[in-house]
Structure 1
C-alpha cells in the first residue's frame, strides 16, 4: 500500500497543478477572448459573408491584445485605445502595399510612434503590440487592387475591432467577480509556495545560493499589485469586502514570511528535532493556505484551518524548561530565547492562516479601516496621462532608445525580407522581430529561444493542417482557438503562446490570401522566424539600455523607500491608539519599499547576460538587496510587536529609543548627506547611546515583557540601515567610475564577508 501511495502521489500533484492552471484567471481570460473572437467572426460571417468576416477577425485580434484581467474602472477607455491607434495604420499599409519602397519608409516612423506607447509601462505594452500587429497583419493578404477595396478591408477590420471592444467591456464586468477570487487564489498559492520553501530549509537544510528566494519575493510584489488592482477596486459589497480582508491578511503573511527568514541563519543553534517540528508545522500551515486557495477556485467553503497554537506553545514551554543542560547557563538561555522568538514568528503565521480561512468561510468580519475609503491610493491608475510621454524625450531614456531600436530593426528586417531568395513573407519576419525584441537583452534572449522553438512546433502543426485543405469554417475555428490559447498564456508560458501564435499566423494568412493559396511551406516559415529572431537579437545591441545605466536611480530609490518605511513603521510606537490614517501612511510606505526592492532584484537578475564590460557590480548589488530585505524583515517584526503585542510593551521605555532609531535610520539612508552625521540634539544623542548599549545576549525568555525584544530589533534595524548605506555607497562609487578606469574594490561576499549581528 505504501508503494502504491508513493506511485500515485506525483500524478495527484500534477493533476492538482493542472486543475489550478485550468481554473486560473489567465485561462478564463483566454476562454473569454476565444468566445468573443468567435462571436465577432460568426456574426460578421453570417451578416456580411466570408471576406468581411476574415477582415473582422483581424480587427478582433487588434482589439483583444489589451484585453487581459483588469479592473472594470476605465476598461472601455483602455480597450478602445488599440483600435483607435491601429486602424489608421492598417489603412495606410493597405494603401501602400503595392509600393514596397514607400511602405518601408512608412513602417520605420510608424514603428517608432507605436513603441512610444511603452512609456506607460506594462499598461502601454499591449497597445504598442496592437498597433504593430495592425500594420503587419495588413501586409498578410495580397495588395488591394483599388482604394475602394482597401477601404472595405479597413471597414471590416474596424467593425470587428469595435464589436470586440463592446464584448470585452461587457464580459469584463460579468467576469470581474470571478477574476477577484482567482487573483486572490493565485496570490495565496505563491505565498504557500514560499512557506513550503522555508519549511524545507528548516527540515532539510536547503540553502539558496543563487538568490531564487529573493527573485520569488520580487515576483510576489508584482503579483500583489495586480491583486490590489482587482480586489481593492470599490470594496462596496460583502463578498468584495471579504476578499479585500483576505488580501490584507495575505500582505501581513508576506511580511511574516520574510520575518521568519531572519532566524534561519541560526538553525544550527537549535536542536534538530525542534527544527523538524517547526518545519512540519510550517508545512501544515502552507497546506492550509493552499486549501483556502483551492476553495476559492472551486467556489466552495473551505474547512477551518488547523490551529497549531497548542503545538507552538508546547515548544515554547519546552524551551523554557531548559533544552541543553550541558551548556552554560547563558547559552541555554540564548537557545531558549531563539526558540521563543521562532515560536512567536510561527504563531503570527498560524494566526494569519486561521484568520484567512475564517474570512473565506465568512466566520469573521474583515478589517478594512485603512482601505475602505482610500482604496484608490493602492491601485494602479486607469487613466491616460501625458506625463509619461512628456518625460521620455531624452537621449538616455530607455523607452526612447527602445523605440528607435525597434524602428531600425523593422526597417532592416523589411529591407532584407524584400531580397530573400526563398520568397519570404515579410510580415512574418517583422512579427518575429516585434515579439522577440524586448527592452533589455535578457528578455530578448529568452523570447528568441522560445519563439524559435514554438515556431518549429506550431508551424509544423499548421503546415500539416493546411496541407489537408480543410474548409474555411474549420480554419476559422482553428484561428479562434489558437488566438485564445495564445492570448491566455502570453504572460505565463510564452512557449505555448509561440506555438499557438504560429498556428494562428499561418492559418489566418492563408485565409487572407484572395487566391486561396494552399498550405505554406514549413521550411520557409522556419527560415522567416530564424531571420526575424536573428535581426532582433542583433539590434538588441543597437542603442542599448544596459541595466548599469539605470542602477543608480534604483539604488537611490531603495534607500529612500526604506527610510520612509522605517519612519512610518516606527512612528506607530508614539501613538496611544493605532488609527486608520497612520496605518494608511505606513501601508503605502511599505508598498513602495517592496516595489523598489522588487525592481532592483529583477534588474540584478537580468544583468548577468549582458557583456561583462557593461555589467554593474553584481556581488555588491546582491549584498545590498539582501540587506534591504533583512531591513524590511526587521521593520516588519517591529511593526508586529507594536500592533499585535502592544499590551506586552512598556511604551514609556520604548518610545524614546524608537524615535531615535527612526531618526538614525532616516539620516543613515539619506544619500544626499554624509554617511556619519552627529545627532542634531542631545535627546537624539541619548537615544542613540541607549540603542548602542543593548547587550549582545538575547533577552531572558522567562520574562513576558516584549520591550527588550523590540529594543534589540531596533538595534538590528539601525545596524542593517548602516550596512545598506555602506553597500549603496560602494555600488554608487563603482557605477559613477568611468568603465575604462579601475573600479573600487568590492565588499567580500560569502564566507569572506563580515557577518552581521545575529538576527533572531
Structure 2
C-alpha cells in the first residue's frame, strides 16, 4: 500500500475540506462567545451551525447558498415551535410528529432538499433538551438562526477565496472512481475469471461513478464562472469534465467476448499483458484524480507508452506464430482492444496536461448544451401533493419516521431517561427510506458508539491537561465530520469520544451517568429504527424493480436508436442527442443496479428472482457497452454499411426491445415479428465473404494483405450489430421470466 498516496488523497479530498469548515463553523462561535462571557449563547449558536451544516451538501455555490437559506428558516421555525410546545408533553409530541412528517416529505424533491429537512429535524430535536420561558424561547430560536447564518456566511467567504477548489476536488473524486471502475474491468482478463463477481464489482463502482458524475456536472454547469467559460481555470475544468465523460464511454467500449478470448488465447500470455496495461492506465487515472484534489501537477508515466509498444510487438509476433483461420476473429478483437487502450492512454495524457492549469495551454472552443449535463429537479407543489399516497416511498417513510419519533419520545418521557433527545437523534439519523440503508446505518451507529465510548474513556483516563483535551476534541471532531459521508462507522467512532470530552468539560462529575445515557439512548433509538423499518409500512426493493427495469429498457432502446440514426448524419444536434441518450442509459442502469444491490441486503423473504434480475442487469450492462462501441466505430469508420443492409437488423433489434417491454409489462406485442435468418444473413454476407477470403490467404501463408483493413473495418461494425441482436433476443427471454414482479 502506498501510504504517501493515501495520505495525499485523504488530505486533499472534499470531505476533509468540508470537515474543517464544519468544525470551524461549530467551534468558533462557541469559543469566541465563551471567551466574551456568553457561554450559553455560544453553545446555542454552535448547535445552529451544526444543524445548518447538515444541509451543506456539495454542489454549485448557488445551490449551497439557497439550501442554507431555506435550512436556516426551517431551523428557526422548528426551534420556535418546539420551544413553545416544550412545556406540555402532549403538545411537544404533536409538534414532533407534525414536523417529522413534513420535513421528511421534502425528500420528494431530491437529496439536497431532504438534507434541508433533516437539518430542521436535528434543530428540533436538540431544542427539546432544555426548557425556555417567555421571550427566552424567541431569543433561543434567534441564537440558533444566528449560528446557521454564521455558518452560511463562513461557507460563502471561504468559497470567495477559492471558488474552484470544491469543483476540482469532486472532479478528482470522479476520475478516481473511474480508475477503480477500470481496475475492476481488468479482472475480465484473469484466467478462470468469475464473471458474476466481476459484474457485481462493476455494478458497485458504476453507481459511484454515475452519482459523482451527475454531481460534478451540476457543479460545473450551474456555476456561471465555469459554464460561461469566463476564466481560464473555468474553461479547463469544463474541458476536463467533457473529456472524462468521453473517456468513460471509451472505457465501456472495451467490452469484448471474454469467454471466446480466453478460449483462443489462454495458452499464451497476451491476455495477462493486456491486464497489466489496463491496471497501468488505472494507476494513471488515479494520479490525475489525486492531482486535481491536491492542486499538484501530475506527470504521465513513461512506462505506459513503452508497455503499449511492447504489447503491440507481442501481438504482432503472436499473429505470425499463432494466427489460424479459426481464431482470426479473436485477433480482430485483440487489435481493437489495443487500439482502444492507446486511445484511452492518449486521453489520460491530455488530462495530465490539464492538471497544470497553465495559462499557456491552448483550449478548444466548446459548443456545449448545458442542459444535457444538468439534473433537472421539479420543485412544484403538485409533486408533493401527488406523493401523499401509500404508493409513494417518501410518504411511507414520513409516516414511519413520525411514528418512530413519537415512540422514542414516549419512551423517553415514560422512563425519564437522561439526555433522551439522543434517542430521537438516533432515530432521525438512522431511519432511511430503504430498509437496507437503515440496517447498515443501525449497525454502524451501534458498533461505532461502543468503540467510541471505549476510546473516549481511555483518552479521559490518560489525558488530564485541559488544553490537550481541547486539541484532541478539535481533531476528533474534524476527522468525524470528514468521514461522515463516506465512512459512517468511523465517523461515529470519532464522534463519540469528542462528545464525551465535551460533556466532561461541562459536567465532569456526571460523566459515568452520561456514558450510560449515551449507550442506552443509542441502543433504544437503534432498536426503534430497526423495528420501524421492518414493520411500519416497510419499503422493499423488489417492489420497485419492475419500474426501474422498464425504465432501463426504454432508455437502452432510445440509446440504440439514437446511435443507429447517427451513422447517416452526425450533425451537432445528433451529437447532443447521443450524449443525452448515453447519459440517460447510464443513469437508468445505475438506478437499477443500486436498487438490486440494496435488495441483496434485505431479508431472504423479500428477495425474489435474484438470478434472473442479475442476468437482466448484466445483459443491459453488456448492451450499453456494445452500443457505445458501435457509436465509436460508426464515428471512426463513417458509413461503412448501406441502409439496405442495416434496415432489417435495426428493425429487429428495436422489436426485441419492444417485446421485452411488453413481456415485462404483462402485455402482448402486436407488430411485425423479427426474422433473424433474413436479417442476419444480409448483415453478415459481406463480412463472411471477406472472412473466407482472409482464411484462404492465411492457408496460403499470406499474413499481411489488402483484405485485412476492410475486414477489420466492416467486421468491427457488423460484430457490434450481431452482439446487440443476440443480446436483445436473450433480453426478451429473460424479461418473460420476470413479469411476475410486483408493479
Q: TM-score, normalised by structure 1?
A: 0.85
Q: Residue 546 of structure 1: which of 540, 559, 562 is its match?
A: 540
Separation of aligned partners in 2, 1:400 and 1:509: 37
Q: Residue 732 of structure 1: which of 723, 729, 739 is its match?
A: 739
> Which residue in 1 is equivalent to 2:164?
177
Matched, 1:629 2:628: no
Alignment of 1:553-702 (within 5 A): 553-575=547-569, 578-643=570-635, 645-646=636-637, 649=638, 651=639, 653-658=641-646, 660-670=648-658, 671-672=661-662, 674-675=668-669, 677-678=671-672, 690-691=682-683
Separation of aligned partners in 1, 2:398 and 2:506: 29
Moved more, 503-512 or 25-34: 503-512
**Cα pair 1:569 1:639 within 8 Å, conserved:** yes
Q: What CA deviation, in whole Å up to 9, does each residue of 1:721-740 have, x standing for no partner?
A: 2222332332123446xxxx
Q: What CA deviation, in whole Å up to 9, does each residue of 1:1-50 have, x standing for no partner?
A: xxxxxxxxx3xx13322321121111111112222333333444456711
Separation of aligned partners in 1, 2:465 and 2:113: 38
**Cα pair 2:104 2:397 within 8 Å, conserved:** yes
Alignment of 1:457-472 (within 5 A): 457-462=451-456
1:262 aligned counterpart, secondary structure: coil
Q: What CA deviation, in whole Å up to 9, does each residue of 1:602-648 have, x standing for no partner?
A: 111111333333323111110000000100010111111122x23xx
For the structure 1 residues 663 and 511, does the alpha-carbon distance in structure 2 shift closer, same or farther, using more than 3 Å as the test? farther
Q: What CA deviation, in whole Å up to 9, does each residue of 1:446-485 have, x standing for no partner?
A: 1111000111133345556778998999888776655543
**Cα pair 1:42 1:53 within 8 Å, conserved:** yes
| Cα root mean square deviation, aligned | 3.2
> Relative to total residues, which structure has the larger helix share, 1 or 2?
2
> Which residue in 2 is equivalent to 1:162?
149
Residue 685 of structure 1, CA deviation: 11
Separation of aligned partners in 2, 1:694 and 1:59: 72
Separation of aligned partners in 1, 2:615 and 2:246: 25
For the structure 1 residues 666 and 73, does the alpha-carbon distance in structure 2 shift closer, same or farther, using more than 3 Å as the test? farther
How many pairs are equivalent? Answer: 707
Residue 543 of structure 1, CA deviation: 0.2
2:110 aligned counterpart, secondary structure: helix
Separation of aligned partners in 2, 1:122 and 1:114: 12
Structure 2: segments with no counterpart, 5+ residues: 695-703
Separation of aligned partners in 1, 2:44 and 2:257: 61
> Which residue in 2 is equivalent to 1:758?
none
Q: What CA deviation, in whole Å up to 9, does each residue of 1:310-364 have, x standing for no partner?
A: 335424433442415xxxx421423422322332332332233233224435686
**Cα pair 2:646 2:683 within 8 Å, conserved:** no
1:669 aligned counterpart, secondary structure: helix
**Cα pair 1:564 1:666 within 8 Å, conserved:** no
Separation of aligned partners in 2, 1:126 and 1:657: 53
**Cα pair 1:27 1:488 within 8 Å, conserved:** yes
Alignment of 1:61-210 (within 5 A): 61-141=50-130, 143-144=131-132, 146-202=133-189, 205-210=192-197
Separation of aligned partners in 2, 1:179 and 1:37: 20
For the structure 1 residues 656 and 86, does the alpha-carbon distance in structure 2 shift closer, same or farther, using more than 3 Å as the test? farther
**Cα pair 1:597 1:625 within 8 Å, conserved:** yes
> Which residue in 1 is equivalent to 2:720?
713
Separation of aligned partners in 2, 1:698 and 1:17: 52
Q: TM-score, normalised by structure 2?
A: 0.87
Separation of aligned partners in 2, 1:174 and 1:26: 18
**Cα pair 2:76 2:142 within 8 Å, conserved:** no
**Cα pair 2:297 2:352 within 8 Å, conserved:** no
Separation of aligned partners in 2, 1:715 and 1:703: 20
Separation of aligned partners in 2, 1:475 and 1:358: 45
**Cα pair 2:59 2:216 within 8 Å, conserved:** no
Residue 263 of structure 1, CA deviation: 3.7
Separation of aligned partners in 1, 2:329 and 2:463: 78
For the structure 1 residues 320 and 68, does the alpha-carbon distance in structure 2 shift closer, same or farther, using more than 3 Å as the test? same
Separation of aligned partners in 2, 1:504 and 1:696: 71
Separation of aligned partners in 2, 1:44 and 1:382: 40
For the structure 1 residues 215 and 464, does the alpha-carbon distance in structure 2 shift closer, same or farther, using more than 3 Å as the test? closer
**Cα pair 1:93 1:135 within 8 Å, conserved:** yes
Structure 1: segments with no counterpart, 5+ residues: 1-9, 737-760
